[in-house]
């Protein structure tokens, strides 16, 4: 079984709709992250959380919100989707206690906003 | 802020050696990561360097020079499955996040 899972894997929605992307992990890591990836722009950080009570904005948080429901779950919401939020979204986890804080990525969610 | 630069694409022949470069500018350097990403898939961790020198891991090696703000990933005995994008990412003290380069696309041809 995968250590980091994302649902859904693909989603097509319309402008103005509310969308939630979910991430779950069985790695026991405290830190979780949401990124989006666009062609030619690389991975950009949306939000991150270092424990259940900690939420931090990344470099492109406008138009997004998150919820850390438990150590193992971190959800990303688009309150009112717009076409330029069409992208590949990745969740990642890391564990600073191991020193390197290496991030491990989920399989991704391909979101299309029409 | 952080600035990370990688060349965009290169083509190499199966069995050859390819070197992928990454230069960076940051304050409070705290480590550099290399990831491999096949098209449409998740990035997967390859290597981590925090001290100067070469780290070898099978066919892949990664080098770091902190004074020059420079790293490279060396892929030996190239295989077709090595066709992917290779991402360089830098960690900095006090930033609590990784800054990713845009990736270098490697195409392996027979």
| Rounded Cα distance, B109 and B13, in Å | 5
pLDDT band at residue B5, thresholds of 50, 70 and 90?
Answer: confident
Tokens of B93: 């003290």
- DSSP β-ladder status, B104-109 and B9-13: parallel
What percentage of chain A has pLDDT greater than the value 90?
A: 86
**pLDDT > 70: what percent of chain A?**
96
Residue A97, pLDDT score: 64
- Judged on CB neighbours under 10 Å (0-12, 13-18, 19+), A100 is middle
Q: What is the mean pLDDT of residues B47-67?
A: 95
Q: What is the mean pLDDT of residues B56-63?
A: 95
* pLDDT (0 to 100) of residue A99: 65
Residue found under tokens 């992917």: B84
Token code pair at residue B84: 């992917």
* A68: pLDDT strictly greater than 60: yes
Predicted confidence (pLDDT) at residue B4 exceeds the cutoff of 70: yes
Q: What is the pLDDT of residue B6?
A: 72
Residue B43 forms contact with A (CB below 8 Å): yes
Whether residue A89 has a cis bond before it, omega within 30° of 0? no
**B97 vs B60, which has greater pLDDT?**
B60
Give me the residue from A42, A56, A90 closest to B42, CB to CB. Answer: A90
pLDDT at site B1: 53
Q: Write down the pLDDT at residue A42.
A: 85
Best CA proximity match to B61, nearest among B51, B47, B78, B81: B47
A42–B102: do the CB atoms touch at under 8 Å? yes
Residues of chain B with pLDDT > 70, as a percent, come to 95
A108/B40 Cβ within 8 A: yes
Q: What are φ and ψ of residue A98, in 5° steps?
A: -90, 0
Mean pLDDT of A92-109: 86
Burial of residue A50 (number of CB atoms within 10 Å: 0-12, 13-18, 19+): middle
**Interface probe with B: pick from A5, A6, A96, A101, most Cβ of B within 10 Å:** A101
Mean of pLDDT values over A45-63: 94
Using a CB–CB cutoff of 8 Å, tell me whether B44 touches chain A: yes
pLDDT of B9 reads 87
């Amino acid at each position: 079984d995968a250590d980091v899972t994302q649902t859904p894997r693909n989603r097509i929605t319309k402008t103005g709709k509310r969308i939630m992307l979910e991430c779950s992990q069985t790695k026991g890591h405290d830190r979780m992250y949401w990124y989006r990836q666009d062609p030619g722009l690389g991975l950009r950080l949306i939000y991150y959380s270092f424990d259940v009570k900690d939420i931090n904005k990344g470099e492109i948080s406008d138009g997004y919100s998150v919820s850390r429901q438990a150590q193992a779950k971190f959800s990303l919401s688009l309150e009112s989707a717009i076409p330029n939020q069409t992208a590949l979204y990745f969740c990642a986890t890391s564990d600073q206690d191991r020193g390197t804080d290496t991030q491990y990525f989920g399989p991704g969610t391909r979101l299309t906003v029409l | 802020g952080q600035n990370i630069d990688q060349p965009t694409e290169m083509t190499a022949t199966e069995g050859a050696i390819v070197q992928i470069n990454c230069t960076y500018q940051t304050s409070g350097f705290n480590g550099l990561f290399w990831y491999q990403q096949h098209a449409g898939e998740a990035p997967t961790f390859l290597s981590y360097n925090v001290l100067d020198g070469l780290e070898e891991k099978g066919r892949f090696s990664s080098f770091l020079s902190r004074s020059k703000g420079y790293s490279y990933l060396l892929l030996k005995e190239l295989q077709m499955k090595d066709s992917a994008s290779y991402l360089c990412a830098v960690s900095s003290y006090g930033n609590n996040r990784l800054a990713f380069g845009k990736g270098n696309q490697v195409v392996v041809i027979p």
